Chains A and B, each alone.
Chain A
Amino acid sequence: MANRTDRIAPSDILLFSTQRNEGVRLPYFLQYYRDMGVNHFFFVDNDSTDGSLDYLARQDDVSVWTTRASYKRARFGVDWLNWLQMRYAHGHWTLVVDPDELFLYPFCDTRPLRALTDWLDASSIKSFSAMLLDMYPKGRIDAEPYRPGQNPIEIASWFDAGNYTIKKNPKFGNLWIQGGPRARMFFADQPERAPALNKIPLVKWDRRYAYVSSTHNLLPRGLNLVYDEWGGEKASGVLLHTKFLDTFSIKAQEELERKQHYAGSKEYLAYAAGIRDNPDLWCKWSEKYINWRQLEILGLMSKGNWA
């Protein structure tokens, strides 16, 4: 639709995303990552009908492709992005995030993203993990409508601080993290089905690399070793996941009808059921988001040896 990749400089930081009818989120999303220091955006638009495709095509720093093909058949968008990354991202630091994910890294309030990538380069680190942290409002999810351009954290400002469980995935060497409000509310009776929260969104891309399932794990396996096994902490960030806004119920219904999601859309089935019964994810022990330092103290992310 719009290919502006000729404007990419060799040291640019690139962002890749798939989107479908996320028009309401895009203005804030683009602004957030531009401020962080992302130089160019790549979108794969999956058959949007809300005008978001045109909106994206008008942005100077966005290249956008469109497809009507099945999200599911493309392994939930991974194949589309892998292809684009192979083609355009070789040698660049790349961030792969969804439109409802806001990336945080240590010192993100005082240092641009390039400070992080330069440091990672100097430390010979090729991949950087950022766990998905589900954010939710206090009260009903649809209580406060989200306006375009608004910081979604103003509404969904709460999270679960300490109910995450970790296992190692022997096949790819990545950690498999589950927990948070979705496990607690929607998957209490089938914990093993709860969605994976481990993500490795920031990678110094090489055309030989590939994401396997979403950004949960990569090949070659070495890229998944974003954790220290000898007691220390590697540096890591967080993806604030702002799925639970008023837009969610509609989305859940739609996704259920399209049946384009993982494991027979089990996740969305569980949501639909959960949403009907009790839409309040908030509990007495929910933590209100302040900044990355708070998340660091809580042990959700780490500065590692970056100081």
Chain B
Amino acid sequence: MSVGIVMLVHTALGRAEQVARHWTRAGCPVVIHVDKSVSRKVYEGFVQSVSDVPEILFSRRHRCEWGTWGLVAASQDASEMMLANFPDVRHVYLASGSCLPLRPVQELIDYLADRPRTDFIESATTADVPWTVGGLDHERFTMRFPFSWRKNRYLFDRFVEFQRKIGYRRRVPKGVVPHMGSQWWCLTRQTLSAILQDPERTRYDAYFRHVWIPDESYFQTLSRLYSTNIESRSLTLSKFDFQGKPHIFYDDHLQLLRRSDCFVARKIWPHAERLYQAFLTDPDGAMSRQEPNPGKIDRIFAKAVDRRTRGRAGLYMQSRYPNPGWENGVTAAKYSVFQGFSELFQDFEAWLARATGAQVHGHLFAPERAEFAGGQTIINGALPDTALLRDANPRAFLTNLLWNTRGERQCFQFGPRDNVKINRQIAEDPNAQVSVITGAWAVPLFKSNANFADIRAEAAALQKIESKMLDELRSPYSKARIRIWTMAEFIESPMEPLQVIIDEIGHKSLRRLAEAPLMEDLTGFGQFLQNLKNQGMHPYLMGDFPVDPIPKLHGARPRKPYLVKK
């Protein structure tokens, strides 16, 4: 008893010959179908080249365009030829010219001999398969497809639409439940002959002739009628990409294939010399005797599909430039934006860095330059601090910074003095954690030594800008984690919000904050605001400050900047 190989070939005939000889050397007869699109001359040369091997036969040629009936017809003819000419054959294995046996053929023979009644064919009902191309699962059995998907995609699609519209449905033959699965199967003589010699075969053939991609459903469906023991998996290792094309194996996959424990792999690049050499020459290819287990390979190819369909979050590059809303992560990592904190607290940045261990920048979007942490003029990824370069594309500047520093939490200061064009993008980024103390920009003005008329003008401008920023943050499109306090609210009890923000950054210690940042001395700030009001400007973003004394300042040490204690 042995295994017969039916081989469908359309290119790389030399490789097909190599593999066919390999099968026959181990005692497996081979029937080859060569696509009719191969020229007569080439075909005859090929037949001639293997004429020294009596166990290699050639079946009637059909034109095998992808997704059409030709492939099924070819498999039928070749299988019939196999069953008729080699009565010893118990299992027929359908393979392509680019399949490569990985384990010694004898192991496959033994494996199948131990399972004489098992049909290995992946076969699932249409409702249960996730991998249909073009979104046609059940419809491929109920519509007609006179136009080629490859060559005439437009007409193909229009015709499908048309049939949907008029509600056209073909009748599925009685007793047939459509199943689908990998086209590479291994069936027993019993099952295969039952399918091929079925008195109803002409009826089934007539039906399947107009099903789309019948090679994935003809045997998969009909074997369900006759087989006593279907094992719904393919013995051929075959990985598909997101478009339903098979992944190709190259020389550098050698170790991976060795460890795959599979009997046959497809598809192999015809020029993968090392693979053909390694697997076809010596029988001690050192594959262990185990159940086939392609799991190891799965990961690598699943990752490739993921990279092609979802990509790396926060990466913008020459071959990934997502439309707005399709980024799968606008930026590469979570980050925190602080507005008003470094104005209200002395040395806030150093304090935050100590409390969180994060990288804390100054005002990254300051008009003079990007104030990178530690006063650096250039940072990870050779990103320079030049304001002009940054402002030419502030969005790219931010996404670059976050991509370059992935793995390290980034915090930066922001405010109405900065380039606020980026504000909206930050607001719409779920990775952003934005904390705003409104009106705190007034503190540096209050401390400054400028003329009051200038201060008044500056205050009016900053308040206008911040007000617009707040509108952006509060827009319904905002996705960032946003917290907004008025300055008056915040200094009422600064520790609680600080604790919340620090906790959300989620760093190391679960301890409560031991050390608090030093708040600026705000004595006279209320009067300062009142002066602005008296000049006709209306400062409102900082909340209500009584003219004097300023709230919650303890009388004991009014002159000193004070430490907020829990």
CB distance from A179 to the nearest CB of B (A): 8
CB-CB under 8 A from B403, the residues of chain A are 162, 299
Interface size, A (range): 35 or more
Cross-chain contact B381 with A285 (CB below 8 angstroms)? yes
Cross-chain contact B404 with A300 (CB below 8 angstroms)? no
Given contacts A163-B383, A229-B321, A234-B320, contact A285 B378 (CB under 8 A): yes
Bound CA–CA A87/B303 (angstroms): 41
Choose the segment among B16-24, B239-247, B439-447, B531-539 that binds chain A (4+ C-beta atoms closer than 8 Å).
B239-247
Interface SS of B by simple majority: mixed
Cross-chain contact B318 with A175 (CB below 8 angstroms)? yes
CB distance from B41 to the nearest CB of A (A): 16
Cross-chain contact A232 with B404 (CB below 8 angstroms)? no
Interface size, B (range): 35 or more
B116 in contact (CB, < 8 A): no
Cross-chain contact B321 with A228 (CB below 8 angstroms)? yes
CB distance from A260 to the nearest CB of B (A): 28
Bound CA–CA A110/B317 (angstroms): 24
CB distance from A226 to the nearest CB of B (A): 6
Bound CA–CA A269/B311 (angstroms): 39
Choose the segment among B176-184, B210-218, B257-265, B387-395 that binds chain A (4+ C-beta atoms closer than 8 Å).
B387-395
Interface SS of A by simple majority: loop
A33 in contact (CB, < 8 A): no
**A270-307 to B contact mask, C-beta < 8 Å, 1/0:** 00000000000001111100000000000111111111
Which residue in chain A gives the minimum CB-CB distance to B247? A307
**B40-84 to A contact mask, C-beta < 8 Å, 1/0:** 000000000000000000000000000000000000000000000
Cross-chain contact B308 with A304 (CB below 8 angstroms)? yes
Interface residues of B in 305-342 (CB under 8 A from A): 305, 307-312, 315-323, 326-328
CB-CB under 8 A from A303, the residues of chain B are 304, 307
Identify which of B242, B252, B319, B386 contacts A129 (C-beta below 8 A).
B319
CB distance from A192 to the nearest CB of B (A): 6
A181 in contact (CB, < 8 A): yes
A19 in contact (CB, < 8 A): no
CB distance from A247 to the nearest CB of B (A): 24
**A146-165 to B contact mask, C-beta < 8 Å, 1/0:** 00000000000000111111
Bound CA–CA A307/B389 (angstroms): 36
Bound CA–CA A110/B243 (angstroms): 25
B269 in contact (CB, < 8 A): yes
Bound CA–CA A248/B429 (angstroms): 43
Given contacts A231-B328, A285-B379, A305-B304, contact A299 B319 (CB under 8 A): no
Identify which of B245, B301, B381, B400 contacts A307 (C-beta below 8 A).
B301
Given contacts A115-B271, A123-B243, contact A286 B382 (CB under 8 A): yes
Given contacts A283-B382, A285-B381, contact A192 B392 (CB under 8 A): yes
Identify which of B242, B318, B322, B396 contacts A305 (C-beta below 8 A).
B242
CB-CB under 8 A from B396, the residues of chain A are 164-166
Identify which of B245, B300, B328 contacts A122 (C-beta below 8 A).
B245
CB-CB under 8 A from B196, the residues of chain A are none
B250 in contact (CB, < 8 A): yes
Cross-chain contact A307 with B393 (CB below 8 angstroms)? no
A51 in contact (CB, < 8 A): no
Cross-chain contact B322 with A184 (CB below 8 angstroms)? no
Cross-chain contact A233 with B308 (CB below 8 angstroms)? yes
Q: From A114, A287, A306, name the one whose CB has the most chain B CB atoms within 10 angstroms.
A: A306
Identify which of A183, A231, A283 contacts B309 (C-beta below 8 A).
A231
A235 in contact (CB, < 8 A): yes
CB-CB under 8 A from B379, the residues of chain A are 285
Bound CA–CA A233/B316 (angstroms): 10
CB-CB under 8 A from A114, the residues of chain B are 271
Cross-chain contact B319 with A302 (CB below 8 angstroms)? yes
CB-CB under 8 A from A305, the residues of chain B are 241-242, 304-305, 307-309
| Chain A contact residues, CB within 8 Å of chain B | 107, 110-112, 114-115, 118-119, 122-123, 129-131, 160-168, 175, 177, 181, 183-184, 188-192, 198, 226-236, 283-287, 299-307
User: What are 20 pairs between A and B in contact, CB < 8 Å?
Assistant: A123-B245, A160-B382, A162-B382, A162-B404, A163-B383, A163-B400, A165-B393, A165-B400, A167-B393, A177-B318, A227-B318, A228-B321, A233-B308, A233-B315, A285-B382, A287-B382, A299-B317, A302-B319, A305-B305, A305-B308
| Chain B contact residues, CB within 8 Å of chain A | 241-243, 245, 247-248, 250-252, 269, 271, 300-301, 303-305, 307-312, 315-323, 326-328, 378-384, 386, 388-389, 392-393, 396-397, 400, 403-404
Q: A162-B383, A184-B389 are in contact. List 5 more A-B contacts (CB 8 A).
A: A118-B248, A188-B386, A228-B322, A231-B320, A284-B378
